[in-house]
Structure 1
């Protein structure tokens, strides 16, 4: 390997090249989603090689489906995915702030500011911004507050019907459950072509009964949930070739039929199965008038178990005595198949109360997008209930940017330029929102900064309908605090990680034998 002389101009140029290359990759990613933010944001069409189309306004969906190879770009996409997994919304905001932080940081490096000092300033600015966001939080004191509907409307892209469904479900479930960190309101949402918008207490299984000879509905359901295949135990082909192996095979078949009859004897009238069901079992259970559904998604199976109070059982568990088997049975007021929607509903379970949000759509493509919108709205509503809300429309970011700028004096030396990166990056969401609405972002951002400073009102931003400065709280434009906090933290983390990279080296393939590697000559 030829080593360049430390401190030489060519060495510096190479390191700046790596930084600028990464910055350009990040810029390409942010450009893909920046046009979607705000009330006037537009949709993006994603097309695959087979001609499949997704039309969406959802930032994380766009990023997830993009064909991206550059490692720095992938880092930004991964932070957006982490944002989605943690709080369920705010991925576009996180991406825009991260992209702005990287761009601002690179500009400072090109001016001669050491990267270490920029990173120091960014860390201070991000931490201070997070503290300021937490301090400005306004609590949701009760679920009947109208502001909850406003939060759902903003996150749900102004879809009134979806916002109404989400808020109705939140009130139905109640604050204690929504405060549970293990519960996700977004996970109870399903969209279906041809369905009517609906919220009901119960769970949906997106499968039909095994055959039409089985009952379509079952009142006072006694439910057995088999987290396995409902089939006889397997025996190897080699073993079948021996007399002892064949006898073992017959014993297993007889034992299996006895276990199925045991299900019938326990008056179990609904059987939900994770995998496939053997033909013998189907025949016996059909004759007994049992409703059977097979190949159910694991998530739906767990929800059915929780709602009915059933304990999942493996096929080997069916060998248990009848008295033991009873302990695994769940109960529900009714289980029935909706033939139009080709799905099963379980309502009135005796286990945990559960709700389902059913979102209707006209086509499969629309169903996918409406489900994404509803999940964003549900995530934001739950986040606001947990951590409160702040003015939206870019207002709170500008207010926090002003606070960070005032705290600039707490940082010594050239680290102040890193703080400036945070200040400018926090203004970027507002700039993009107004640009998407057709206004001059430089002019409008400065108007908002001046208006907030002159009135000491941190809720002022731009009404995208009129272009005038307006109170976002009065307009009902609000965002959840946890979404904002996580977006700023995530953006800071990925920006620092990218700015720290000053050399890019192609890694050898892991499966390449080291003995075949010649001497390095790059």
Structure 2
């Protein structure tokens, strides 16, 4: 009996598992060489010729044109990691790929996928418990540790040469916007400027608006400014219904124009009456209103983005008003200086010298656009980990130390678990060691020697012992200041486990059409999947890579 349409394709049993596992492993393999301080970069070229050079795991996977549904599950792991923690995306994906690799060996040994899934879940829960127990407490007052965490997140990225200075800026920014509700990094605005070097980057305790004053006759700079934030338009409102007015006399037309002018003057008078020196307007400003504002010496900015309006309000203490009739003097914010300045050839409005700025701006400089973009990605990771540390208050040593410790502890735990799940837990332990092994490989070190040294030190009770990728020595990572938030590791393990388990439990793939199996760099994706669900092509059915032309 034929149930599926002729265009459908069905792959079931071991073939389906093998197909999905291969696709997941291929995704992990594509970012594996970017891991760690000696990780390499990828050049991604899209179909229109746009180029991105990065070693940020989530950016690479977003830019790649991945078609295979199982491969996309692994991409989701990186996106979840980015959203939840802001860093550790490559770690999460590499662990997920290794869990699939280990599971494949167990399946070949006739261990059922459900048993493996059960063992993986037990191992994941135990791993998170162990990490919670061994985590190091850190507080907001421990600035030195926060700076080290920020610097660790930037290691191996384009910003590494200036990581010490940038780490200080990141910590200053996060501490400035921190309040009773925690840390919202949306209040840290990032402005990119091409020109100068990364060392020229700076933190402005206030807001930079990428606009100019609307009239040349307005002041360039206002000191001790009362700031109004108006989410509306300084224009005469149009009627909501279509109306037609017949003018029979030129005097009538002049009356209309005079009335409009009077309305605009009243708006400006309302701003002046409450003591406004600077006004940021969310919509347009009529030419006549601009004239009156300039006449009164008020600096005005139009079409300010809603996000900027919120940041201005938070920074200056103003209240966003949507009706000028409601504007009172206590709705105004205060800034010591509001000025139009030139930065990198662009004129922007700087709102500075505000008391307890709860909204700040990082100005990132770099020699080229690609450099600035990569610095921005490094800064976003760094902001994420400092925020997470402040919210959770717990960190772990880096350099593969937690993974090595977990591998040892989980092997002991496996002995206490009966049944075939024991094999899955041991496989989970082996999978975690992919992190120190990859760190060693990417640094040009012997991974076997490095793992043996790490295991030996952890056997001796040194939880903080990790691999120094620069020297090849096993050192105390906590002592060296190489630390990262606890949640980076727990989230990576949790997401990787869930994705691996979901893929392993699939034993039937029913596709409405052909699942294409293009090779890496094969834009047309025309390699049909072989009969029986073989993966066809080196990237395991991941489709073309958006015009990458074999760049990887």
**Helix, strand or coil: the match of 1:264?**
helix
Q: Match of 2:336?
A: 333
Q: How far is 1:263 from its partner?
A: 1.8
With structure 1 as the length reference, what TM-score do the two structures score? 0.85
TM-aligned CA distance change 1:43 to 1:299, over 3 Å: same
Q: Match of 2:507?
A: 502
Which structure carries more helix by proportion? 1
Q: 2:389, 2:395 within 8 Å by CA — same for their partners in 1?
A: yes
**Helix, strand or coil: the match of 1:304?**
helix
Match of 1:414 among 411, 420, 435: 420
After TM superposition, list the pairs within 5 Å mapping 1:84-483 onto structure 2: 84-141=82-139, 143-144=141-142, 146-157=144-155, 159=160, 161-168=162-169, 170-171=171-172, 174=175, 177=178, 180-184=181-185, 187-194=188-195, 196-235=200-239, 238-240=242-244, 255-314=263-322, 317-320=323-326, 324-341=327-344, 342-350=347-355, 352-385=357-390, 386-453=392-459, 455-483=460-488
- Range that drifts further, 435-444 or 78-87: 435-444
TM-aligned CA distance change 1:213 to 1:33, over 3 Å: farther
Whole-Å separation in 2 of the counterparts to 1:110 and 1:219: 74
Q: How far is 1:275 from its partner?
A: 3.4
Q: 1:387, 1:482 within 8 Å by CA — same for their partners in 2?
A: no
Q: 2:389, 2:485 within 8 Å by CA — same for their partners in 1?
A: yes
Q: How far is 1:120 from its partner?
A: 0.8
Q: How far is 1:505 from its partner?
A: 2.3
Q: 1:330, 1:350 within 8 Å by CA — same for their partners in 2?
A: no
Q: How far is 1:75 from its partner?
A: 1.9
Query: Which consecutive residues of structure 2, in runs of 5 or more, have no partner in the other structure?
Result: 5-9, 248-252, 514-552
With structure 2 as the length reference, what TM-score do the two structures score? 0.81
After superposition, give the CA deviation of every residue in 1:490-511 in whole Å (9 maximum; x if it has no partner): 1112222222222222359xxx
Q: How far is 1:335 from its partner?
A: 0.9
Query: Which consecutive residues of structure 1, in runs of 5 or more, have no partner in the other structure?
Result: 5-10, 509-522
**Helix, strand or coil: the match of 2:318?**
coil
Whole-Å separation in 2 of the counterparts to 1:233 and 1:346: 30
Whole-Å separation in 1 of the counterparts to 2:98 and 2:507: 19
Q: How far is 1:393 from its partner?
A: 1.0
Whole-Å separation in 2 of the counterparts to 1:105 and 1:41: 26
- Range that drifts further, 252-261 or 132-141: 252-261
Q: How far is 1:299 from its partner?
A: 2.5
Q: Match of 2:69?
A: 71
After superposition, give the CA deviation of every residue in 1:389-411 in whole Å (9 maximum; x if it has no partner): 22211111110121112111343
Q: 1:187, 1:375 within 8 Å by CA — same for their partners in 2?
A: no
**Helix, strand or coil: the match of 1:40?**
coil
Q: 2:187, 2:311 within 8 Å by CA — same for their partners in 1?
A: no
**Helix, strand or coil: the match of 2:320?**
coil
Whole-Å separation in 2 of the counterparts to 1:239 and 1:382: 55
**Helix, strand or coil: the match of 1:301?**
helix
After superposition, the CA RMSD in angstroms is 3.0
TM-aligned CA distance change 1:268 to 1:119, over 3 Å: same
**Helix, strand or coil: the match of 1:36?**
coil
Q: Match of 1:80?
A: 78
Whole-Å separation in 1 of the counterparts to 2:512 and 2:259: 57
Q: 2:176, 2:358 within 8 Å by CA — same for their partners in 1?
A: no
After superposition, give the CA deviation of every residue in 1:321-373 in whole Å (9 maximum; x if it has no partner): xxx53343222111112223432221233575444332221222211111111
TM-aligned CA distance change 1:3 to 1:297, over 3 Å: same
Q: Match of 1:31?
A: 29
Match of 1:52 among 50, 53, 59: 50
TM-aligned CA distance change 1:47 to 1:144, over 3 Å: same
**Helix, strand or coil: the match of 1:289?**
coil
Whole-Å separation in 2 of the counterparts to 1:351 and 1:272: 20
Whole-Å separation in 2 of the counterparts to 1:253 and 1:425: 73
Q: 1:186, 1:375 within 8 Å by CA — same for their partners in 2?
A: no
Q: Match of 1:519?
A: none
Q: How far is 1:444 from its partner?
A: 2.7
Whole-Å separation in 1 of the counterparts to 2:258 and 2:70: 60
**Helix, strand or coil: the match of 1:339?**
strand
Whole-Å separation in 2 of the counterparts to 1:139 and 1:14: 49
Whole-Å separation in 2 of the counterparts to 1:212 and 1:107: 72
Aligned length: 493
Whole-Å separation in 2 of the counterparts to 1:58 and 1:458: 28
Q: How far is 1:128 from its partner?
A: 0.8
Whole-Å separation in 1 of the counterparts to 2:489 and 2:260: 58
Whole-Å separation in 1 of the counterparts to 2:20 and 2:287: 58
TM-aligned CA distance change 1:466 to 1:125, over 3 Å: same
